[in-house]
Structures are given as structure tokens and as C-alpha cells.
Chains A and B, each alone.
Chain A
Amino acid sequence: MPTDSLPSNYLPVLVFFFIALGFGVVTIIMGYLVRPSRPYAEKLYPYESGIHPETDARQRFPLRYYMIAMLFVLFDIEVVFLFPWAVSFDHLGLFGLVEMILFLLILFVGYFYAWKKGALEWD
């Protein structure tokens, strides 16, 4: 099978996906048949070093995590641009090289802006 974009090459991936899913589900169900189940209130408390939890765990959490996620989305799109560019680098010639240098320079400007604004600080 040579490297090509035939859909049939992706079929094993789909099959593998369902086998992995089946492995997970079947193992859990098999375990359900043999394992004991003796729950009582004390056992089911969320773990907090032996003390009964006073409040629900799903409270507000720091905004920092949102900032990181936003930055990730921005930069990840740019990484995705780089992959097809890298594959066809030899065909693009000087044009491709200069284009990508400009693209990365613009990106660096944004990156240093985010840095100076303190978006990368964690405190």
C-alpha cells in the first residue's frame, strides 16, 4: 500500500477506534458483573482528607486558565498553518519562504504584545 490519500487507508483507523471503544466499554461491563458494590454515605463522600466537604467543588476558578486557553487557540491555528507549508516547502520556493517569514514576524509582534501586557504571567 503506497502512501496516498485513498479513503480506504483511513478505514483501519475507524476500525481501530471502535475496537478501542469496545475494549473500554466491555472491560467496564465485565467488571460490573464480578466486582462488589457496597456503597454507604460515608464511602461516597468526595475525598477531603477525612473531613466532610462543606461546599460544592464546582466553584469559581482563576481567570488565568481562560487566558491560557485563548492564547492556545490563537497559536495553535498558526501551528496548523505551518504543517501544510512544511510539506510543500520544496514546491513553494522563495515565495513560500518569504511569506512564512512575514507571517511568523507578525505573529512574534502579537506574541510580544501579549507578553508585555502580562498575559503570560502566572501569579
Chain B
Amino acid sequence: MDLAIRIGIVLAEIAAVLGVVLTHVAYLTYMERKILSDMQDRLGPMEVGPHGLLQPLADGLKLFFKEDIIPTGANKIIFSAAPILVLIPALIGFAVVPFGRDSLVIGEFEITPYITDINVGILYILAFSSLGAYGVLLGGWASNSKYSLLGGLRSAAQVISYELPLGLSLVGPILLSGSLSMVTMTEAQGGGFWHWYVITQPIAFVIYMICAIAETNRLPFDLPEAESELVAGFFTEYSGMRFSFFFLAEYANMILVSCIAVVAFLGGWQAPFSFMEFVPPIVWFLAKVYFLLFFYIWLRATVPRLRFDQLMAFGWKVMLPLSLVNVLLTSIVKYFLNQM
């Protein structure tokens, strides 16, 4: 009986998180279009609903009823499976993100603000997010289109190149908090914004943000889907729902890497000052995530795209040694601080 109720709670939490994430993904596309159009001095979507607020719904419905085209010569099984392969890692990373502080206690059962707290939280997210590269590579290869193949190859090379500094930049916060669990990491940053790891690990934070943008294939690192040279990159041949899965995964990944940045560097749900703790923790969490998402969109409107050789050189010759040196310095400083 106990077990049944606990599984029920887990299912309800997963449904809630999935629903919230998908809604946020839908409205992130709206937010992106609106912010971009504001920055370019135009109106953006205005037709569907007041100020175009129902535009994401209309887009979703349209994609749902679109014909699904599988090009001749494509490998049907891999072609069909690739979008789901990309979608799953983007969604299940949210299982370990702590959205707030307080558990909701009903009788003897408590509903935690995270789906589960495993002691390898960050490693789990990194492991699954690197599986997403398989979906992209296989999708690009299976399409039997030159643009798709090039996009898939580029994407795989880019994702694995920037995964190294990304993982290394997270070693800093792990060193300081002594834990891989996202919940423990957030709690270690309590007591004001000067305890956040962005203050003690500024280099790691900058490296993380740059790599996160490269990992999610966003501008200025959107080489895999550079529309002016590769049409749409690895999903050139995709249409309808399968296309929308790639799209969904990209935006869900954006939210996920922002969540990790908030937990690892910006104190998670912690308020910046103790007198501001009357604001619910979840509001702080969302505010920080949305700030980072806005930053992403802002970059897209501002920075031109890199060339591919520049991108690879930057990843291997600048980011990788910089993040290694950061790990070295952090560990030495921490050792001597422990001694004092």
C-alpha cells in the first residue's frame, strides 16, 4: 500500500514536471520570437490570440497534422527512431533538478520539490545529455541527404568537443560542495549571493555558459543547422511531428542547461539576500532560469555565427586548457584554505 502511494506520488511528479517543461518549451519559442522581433524593431507574432499568445498552440497543432515524409533511400528504422532518441535525454534530465526548497507534507508522505535526489545527479545529466548526440548523428546519417549528413557530423564533432570543458567547468562547484547531488549543491550555497559559486568560480561559470550554448547548438555556435549553408542541418529531411521533436529537444535542452547553471553557479533556489527570503524559493529559481534564457536569445540577436574551424580551434585550444587550469587552481587554493 505504501509502495503504491509512493509510486503514485512519483508518477504525479513526473507528469507535473513533464507538463511544466513542455509548456515552458512552447512559450520559450514564443518568448524568443517576441524578444527577437523587439530587438529588430518589429512586432513578431500578433495574429493568433491577443499579442499572438496562442501562436505556440497553433504551431503545435499545425505540426501535428503535417504529412510525415520519409525520403527515398533513407534508413526507415533509424530515421524514425532518431527524434525520440534526441527527445528522451532532453526530458529525463529534469528528474534530478531541485526546483524549490520545501517539501509538501501530506500525512506521512512528503512530496519533494524534485523527482528524485540521487547522489550522482550532475553525472547523470551529463551522461544522458551526451546520448543526445547519437540521435543527431543517426538522424543525419539515416536521411540520405548531403545536408543532413554534414549537419549530423558537424553536430557530433561540436558536441563532443565542448563536452570536455563543460564537464571540467562543473568540477569546480563539485570540488567546493563535495557532492554530485544537485540538492546538496544548492544547499551548500545558502546565506547570500556571495556564497554562490559564480563568485568563487567566475572562470568556470563563463566556460560553462559558452559550452552550454555550443552543446545546445544555439547561436553563435549553431553550425550544425546553419541555415545559410546547410539548409537546416541534420533535420533537413524531417517534417511534421518528427521535426517538432528535434525542435522540442533543442528548447528543452536550453532549459535544462540553464537549470544546471542555476544550480551549480547561481545558488539554485536561494535568495540573494537573507531579507529577501519571503519570496518563495521556486520564484527565485524560475527568475534565474529565465534570466539565462533571455541571455541566450539576446546572444542570438547580437553575435554573428562562427566558422567551423574557428569553433573547433576555440573549443580545443582555448576552452579545454583554460578549464583544466581552473580545476588545478581551484583544488590548490581549496587545499590551502582547508589547512588554515
Contact = CB atoms under 8 A, between A and B. Distances in A.
Question: Is the contact region of chain B dominated by helix, strand, or loop, or is it mixed?
Answer: helix
Interface stretch (B192-200, B240-248, B268-276): B240-248
Interface of A: 1-5, 9-13, 15-17, 19-21, 23-25, 27-28, 30-32, 34-39, 41, 43-49, 53, 56-58, 61, 64-65, 68-69, 71-72, 75-76, 79, 82-83, 86-90, 94, 97, 100-101, 104, 107-108, 111, 115, 120-123
Interface of B: 7, 10-11, 13-15, 18, 64-74, 80, 83-84, 87-88, 91-92, 95-96, 112, 115-119, 123-124, 141, 143-150, 153, 156-157, 160-161, 163-164, 167-168, 171, 174-175, 178-181, 183-184, 231, 236-237, 240-242, 245, 308-309, 312-313, 316-317, 320-321, 324, 327-328, 331-332, 334-335, 338
Contacts of B179: 3, 87
Given A3-B117, A9-B116, A16-B92, A79 B168 contact: yes
A44 B70 contact: yes
Nearest to A28: B241
The 4 lowest CB-CB distance pairs between A and B, nearest first, are: A24-B84, A46-B145, A122-B309, A12-B116
Contact of B338 (A56, A75, A90): A90
A11 B10 CA distance: 9
Contacts of A69: 156-157, 160
A10 B72 contact: no
A57 B144 contact: yes
Given A20-B91, A24-B83, A83 B123 contact: yes
Among A27, A49, A65, max chain B CB count under 10 A is at A27
